């Protein structure tokens, strides 16, 4: 007899107790997901994550004390880190963009429908990015706004320097990832096999010292802004 699949283990981090309760109800209501811990701030989150070793951390961006961004950075530097999915509101785009650069796999809005929150946790647990369509537009606007031309120029130069280490095919793959294509679509665009796409992607992670496809996409967009 086949054994039951192990549920995805989730830690919830939010300073609002009602939000934590609502998220627990959503996640524990799914047969393939389970909440193994909660924390009300970043410092407590680091302790809970170390104790429970979850698959996914669902983390608020803005919290008193240690915020979600610095907490995510700390969590993601640890050995075998969990996936991090950020919770956000419209006024926290800058922090979300920073979290994505730090290695978080995505973000969702707090008013996202329950079924979509559960799906987002599953998507991130599988190692795939999950970017809320509504919030994505806000983050892109924050990243490309006119108020920081000098900062964007510096970021562009640094990104181009990093991408210069890639072969032509690796760069083509990085650009396709930035366009949101999956492996089959990349293989079709570049007229190569899916296995070759995976090899190029692995090289991108190694050469650029990145952890996921979201970071690759952000680096390419920095270079092209």
Digit-coded pLDDT (tens) for 128-155: 888 776 556 555 555 555 555 555 667 7
Rounded to whole angstroms, the Cα distance separating 225 from 220 reads 9
Query: Exposed (0-12), middle (13-18) or buried (19+): which is 16, by Cβ within 10 Å?
Result: middle
Range of the domain at 167: 148-224
Domain boundary, last residue among 102, 120, 142 = 142
Q: Total structural domains in the chain?
A: 2
Q: Are residues 131 and 154 in the same domain?
A: no
Report, as an integer, the average pLDDT of 103-116: 84
What is the DSSP secondary structure assignment for residue 55, as one 8-state letter?
Answer: S
Sign of CA dihedral 97, 102, 106, 109: negative
pLDDT at 83: 93
In the block, which residue shows the tokens 């701030």?
A: 41
Residue 53 and residue 129 share a domain:
yes
In this structure, of 1-15, 94-108, 172-186, 190-204, the range with the lowest mean pLDDT score is 94-108
Q: Do 136 and 48 share a structural domain? A: yes
Q: Are residues 116 and 134 in the same domain?
A: yes
For the whole model, what pTM was predicted? 0.68
Asked whether residue 3 is assigned to any structural domain, the reply reads no
Q: Answer yes or no: do 162 and 84 share one domain.
A: no
Residues 135 and 156 in one domain: no
**Residue 122 backbone phi and psi in degrees, to 5:** -65, -45
What's the CATH number where 207 sits? 1.10.10.10
203 within domain boundaries = yes
Quick check: is 1 in a domain? no
End-of-domain residue from the set 142, 175, 190: 142
Judged by average pLDDT, the poorest of 66-80, 91-105, 141-155, 190-204 is 141-155
Q: Is residue 2 part of a domain?
A: no
Q: Do 14 and 98 sit in the same domain of this protein?
A: yes
Distance between CA atoms of residues 221 and 1, nearest Å? 49
Among 142, 177, 201, residue at a domain's last position: 142
Residues 54 and 134 in one domain: yes
Q: What's the CATH number where 90 sits?
A: 3.40.50.2300
Phi, psi of 166 (to 5 degrees): -85, 155
């Amino acid at each position: 007899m086949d054994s039951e699949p192990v549920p995805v283990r989730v830690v919830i981090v939010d300073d609002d107790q009602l939000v934590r309760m609502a998220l627990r109800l959503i996640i524990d209501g799914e047969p393939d997901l389970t909440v193994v811990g909660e924390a009300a701030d970043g410092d407590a989150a680091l302790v809970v994550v170390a104790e429970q070793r979850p698959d996914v951390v669902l983390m608020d961006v803005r919290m008193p004390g240690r915020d979600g961004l610095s907490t995510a950075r700390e969590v993601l530097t640890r050995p075998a880190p969990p996936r991090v999915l950020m919770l956000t509101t419209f006024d926290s785009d800058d922090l979300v963009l920073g979290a994505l650069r730090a290695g978080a796999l995505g973000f969702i809005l707090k008013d996202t429908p329950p079924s979509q929150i559960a799906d987002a946790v599953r998507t991130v647990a599988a190692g795939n990015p999950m970017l809320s369509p509504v919030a994505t537009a806000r983050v892109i606007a924050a990243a490309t706004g006119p108020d920081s031309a000098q900062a964007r120029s510096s970021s562009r130069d640094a990104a181009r320097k990093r991408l210069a280490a890639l072969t032509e095919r690796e760069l083509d793959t990085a650009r396709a990832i930035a366009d949101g294509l999956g492996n089959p679509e990349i293989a079709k665009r570049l007229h190569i096999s899916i296995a070759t796409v995976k090899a190029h992607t692995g090289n991108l992670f190694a050469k650029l010292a990145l952890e996921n496809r979201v970071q690759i996409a952000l680096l390419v967009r920095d270079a092209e802004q």
